[in-house]
Amino acid sequence: MKTRNVQMSESLSVALLLACVGGFLESYSFLSRDGVFANCQTGNIVLLAMYLAEGEWARVLSYLIPIVSFVVGVILTELIRGYADNHILHWRQYIVLLEAALLALAGFIPSGSRDIIATTLIAFSCSMQVEAFRKVKGSAYATTMCTGNLRSGTFQLFTYFSKRDADSLRRAGHYFSIIAVFMGGAILGSLTTELWHEKAIWLSCALLVLTFALLFVRPNDREHTIG
């Protein structure tokens, strides 16, 4: 049994902040940007297929562009990872700053006018976030969607009850905490979008700035690994 230091990017506090951002952006993009899910591309792919079947090409384009931008965001994240890791900031901090800047820019685009540009910026940002932050204390998770977290949390909970493994209960708690905060972010996004419309997205930028600052902290946590 070995131990390793847990990076701050894998801490539960960072995971919860990013999950809040993810939930916020999901409700924000749907409510203020023409019903497009900018975070989770599964829904967009299904809607894309439906509109393809109906031959509604304008609607097809509105869902295709965010999907493509998501793919490009993943590629750019890996390029930044390879280039920026030896610079002043950690490469994940560059990702967070770039994401905050793009989302801030989206807030200047009025709802109902050039929504496709805003959803492209949001999808691009979310793809960078989900690619850069993939683990919480060694366990794989996602900050912009819930399906995988729900599956993993349920599995860990089952493992706890079947084997009485305390570590599984702890991991289940992480997953369900992330889901709960994601839901809280979605509620916050819904309420603030009704009040501030497209400018509500700037609240998610504030959460990202807080995340950026938190990444300077050196955690004391260590986790056990086998091998």
What does the domain layout of the chain look like in residue ranges?
2-225
Residue 114 CB: number of other CB atoms within 10 A?
12
Does residue 5 have a pLDDT over 60? no
**How far apart, in whole angstroms, are the C-alpha atoms of residue 52 and residue 133?**
33
- CATH architecture for residues 2-225: Up-down Bundle (1.20)
Confidence of residue 224 (pLDDT cuts 50, 70, 90): very low
pLDDT averaged over every residue in the chain? 89
Confidence tier at 61 by pLDDT (50, 70, 90): confident
Tokens of 62: 């509105």
Q: What is the pLDDT of residue 200?
A: 97
Model confidence over 92-149: pLDDT tens digits? Answer: 999 999 999 999 999 999 988 788 899 899 999 999 999 999 999 889 999 998 989 9
Q: Are 3 and 134 in contact (CB under 8 A)?
A: no
Mean pLDDT of 159-188: 95
